[in-house]
C-alpha cells in the first residue's frame, strides 16, 4: 500500500498510483519533489496560464505501453476524477471491443467507507469531506470515448454504442476511428459515422502522414457545414522507434491543422514535457511543450529557419524537404531546452492560450501523470493550485 507523504499535495500521491501501481512513480526522488513541492521552494512557481492544460490529457491507461487491466483503469480514473487533477484530465479511452467488459464496472454507484478508502489509497487521511466528494463523483456516469479498431471500425463502434446506450453508469462522449490509409476524401467515412452518433457526441478521425494538408482541409470543410464536434487525430509515437514520425511530417500536420483551422488531438508518444531520447533504445519522442510551441509558431506564421541546416530546402527525417514556413515549427519540435520552452509558454496571453488550444485540443497518454509531473517541475503548472 502506498504511503502518503506529509509534504506532497494529496492529489500527486493519488495520481502516482493512478494505473493500479502500489509504488510511488510520480515523485520518487527528493530532487523531483523539491522542484514540485511549494513548501520546500524559496518562491512559488509562476501562475499557470489559464486554460493551458484544461482537459489536456485523455486517459489511455488500457492502451500500450501501459496496458492496465480495464477494472484497474476504471477505478484509477475515478480516483483522478475525485482529486485535484480532475480539471486537467479528459475522458477514459476504451476500446470499442471491450464494451461488454465495461458493463459490470459501471453499475455500482456507491461504495462503503472501507472500499472507498482502499480505492483512494489514502485510508489514514480519509475525512468526511473527501468521502462525500468521492462518493458524489462515483455517482456520476463514467465519461468515456470509444476507440475503434483498424479492422472494420464502423461495425465495432455500432456494436459498442448499441450496447452502452441508456446504461446509467456510463456516458459515451465521443468516438475515435481511423480513416483508410492514404485517405484524402474522408466524406464517405464521416457520413457513415455521423449517422450512428447521437447529437452532441464528438468524433476524432485518425489520418496518416501521406497528405495531412489535404485531409485536414477536407475535415475542416465538413466540420464547418455540420454541428458535429469533429477533430482530426494523428499519432506522434508508439511502442517502437519507427512509430515516431519525423519532424517534417509532424510539422506538416501542425501547419495543415492551423491553415485549415482544424482542431486535432494527438495520440501515443507524448509521455514527457520536452522532446528527448525517451523511447525504446533511446529513440526520440516529442514533448508536450514542444507541440504547444510548434502550434504557436505555426499560428504566428514564422518562416524563420529552424537553425543551421534546417531551413527551407534542407532535408530532415531521411530526406524530406523542409518547405518554407516549416523551419520554425521543426525548430520548436526538436528543441530540448525545457526551461526555455517553459518560459515561452508561461509568457503567453489568454488569447495565445485559447488559440493554441483551439488547434491542439488534447492528447492520449497511458500514464496521465507523467507529463504533468514534468510540467510541474518546469513551473508550467502549479500542483499546489490543485489543493
pLDDT in tens, 319-329: 343 344 688 99
- Provide mean pLDDT across the span 148-162: 95
Question: Given this model, what pLDDT does residue 325 score?
Answer: 63
* Whether pLDDT at 214 is above 70: yes
Question: Given this model, what pLDDT does residue 47 score?
Answer: 60
Q: 3-state SS string over the chain?
A: CCCCCCCCCHHHHHHHCCCCCCCCCCCCCHHHHHHHCHHHCCCCCCCCCCCCCCCCEEECCCCCCCCCCHHHHHHHHHHHHCCCCHHHEEEEEEEHHHHHHHHHHHCCCCCCHHHHHHHHCCHHHCCHHHHHHHHHHHCCCEEEEEECCCCCHHHHHHHHHHHHCCCCCEEEEEEEEECCCCCCCCHHHHHHHHHHCCCCCEEEEECCCCCHHHHHHHHHHHHHCCCCCEEEEEECCCCCHHHCCCHHHHHHHHHHHHHHCCCEEEECCCCECCCECCCHHHCCECEHHHHHHHHHHHHHCCCCCCCCCCCCCCEECCCEECCCCCHHHHHHHHCCCHHHHHHHHHCCCHHHHHHHHHHEEEEEECCCHHHHHHHHHCCCCCHHHHC
Average pLDDT across the chain, whole number? 78
Question: Given this model, what pLDDT does residue 381 score?
Answer: 87
Mean pLDDT check: name the lowest of 34-48, 56-70, 153-167, 340-354. Answer: 34-48
Question: Which pLDDT band, with edges at 50, 70 and 90, does 46 fall under?
Answer: low
Question: Given this model, what pLDDT does residue 90 score?
Answer: 95
Return the bridge partners of 265, or none. 233, 362
pLDDT in tens, 122-144: 333 334 544 455 444 555 789 99
Question: Given this model, what pLDDT does residue 137 score?
Answer: 52
Question: Given this model, what pLDDT does residue 336 score?
Answer: 96
65: preceding bond cis by omega (within 30 degrees): yes
* Whether pLDDT at 121 is above 70: no
Question: Given this model, what pLDDT does residue 44 score?
Answer: 45
| Distance between CA atoms of residues 264 and 259, nearest Å | 12
> The whole model's pTM is what?
0.78
Most confident residue range from 35-39, 209-213, 278-282 = 209-213
Going by DSSP bridges, is the β-strand pair 315-316/320-321 parallel, antiparallel, or unpaired?
A: antiparallel
Cell representation of residue 142? 463514467
- Provide mean pLDDT across the span 246-258: 96
Amino acid at each position: 500500500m502506498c504511503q502518503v507523504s506529509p509534504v506532497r499535495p494529496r492529489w500527486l500521491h493519488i495520481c502516482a498510483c493512478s494505473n493500479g501501481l502500489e509504488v510511488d512513480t510520480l515523485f520518487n526522488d527528493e530532487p523531483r519533489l523539491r522542484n514540485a513541492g511549494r513548501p520546500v521552494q524559496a518562491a512559488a512557481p509562476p501562475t499557470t496560464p489559464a486554460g493551458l492544460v484544461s482537459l489536456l490529457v485523455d486517459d489511455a491507461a488500457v492502451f500500450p505501453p501501459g496496458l492496465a487491466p480495464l477494472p484497474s483503469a476504471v477505478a484509477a480514473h475515478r480516483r483522478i476524477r475525485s482529486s485535484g487533477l480532475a480539471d486537467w484530465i479528459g475522458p477514459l479511452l476504451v476500446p470499442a471491443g471491450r464494451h461488454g467488459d465495461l458493463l459490470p464496472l459501471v453499475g455500482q454507484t456507491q461504495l462503503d467507507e472501507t472500499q472507498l478508502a482502499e480505492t483512494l489509497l489514502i485510508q489514514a487521511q480519509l475525512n468526511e469531506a473527501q468521502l462525500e466528494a468521492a462518493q458524489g463523483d462515483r455517482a456520476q456516469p463514467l465519461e468515456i470515448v470509444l476507440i475503434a479498431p483498424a479492422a472494420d471500425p464502423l461495425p465495432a463502434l455500432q456494436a459498442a454504442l448499441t450496447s452502452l446506450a441508456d446504461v446509467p453508469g456510463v456516458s459515451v462522449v465521443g468516438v475515435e476511428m481511423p480513416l483508410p490509409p492514404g485517405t484524402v476524401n474522408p466524406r464517405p467515412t464521416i457520413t457513415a459515422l455521423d449517422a450512428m452518433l447521437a447529437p452532441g457526441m464528438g468524433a476524432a478521425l485518425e489520418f496518416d502522414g501521406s497528405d495531412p494538408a489535404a485531409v485536414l482541409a477536407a475535415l475542416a470543410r465538413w466540420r464547418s457545414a455540420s454541428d458535429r464536434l469533429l477533430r482530426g487525430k494523428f499519432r506522434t509515437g508508439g511502442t517502437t522507434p519507427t512509430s515516431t514520425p519525423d519532424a517534417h511530417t509532424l510539422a506538416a500536420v501542425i501547419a495543415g491543422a492551423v491553415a485549415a483551422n482544424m482542431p486535432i488531438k494527438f495520440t501515443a508518444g507524448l509521455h514527457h514535457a520536452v522532446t528527448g531520447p525517451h523511447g525504446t533504445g533511446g529513440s526520440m519522442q516529442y514533448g508536450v511543450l514542444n507541440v504547444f510551441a510548434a502550434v504557436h509558431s505555426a499560428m504566428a506564421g514564422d518562416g524563420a529557419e529552424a537553425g543551421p541546416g534546417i531551413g527551407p530546402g534542407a532535408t530532415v527525417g531521411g530526406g524530406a524537404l523542409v518547405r518554407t514556413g516549416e523551419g520554425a515549427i521543426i525548430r520548436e519540435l526538436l528543441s530540448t531546452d525545457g526551461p526555455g520552452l517553459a518560459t515561452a509558454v508561461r509568457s503567453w496571453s489568454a488569447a495565445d492560450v485559447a488559440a493554441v488550444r483551439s488547434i491542439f485540443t488534447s492528447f492520449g497518454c497511458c500514464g496521465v501523470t507523467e507529463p504533468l509531473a514534468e510540467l510541474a517541475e518546469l513551473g508550467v503548472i502549479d500542483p499546489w493550485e490543485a489543493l
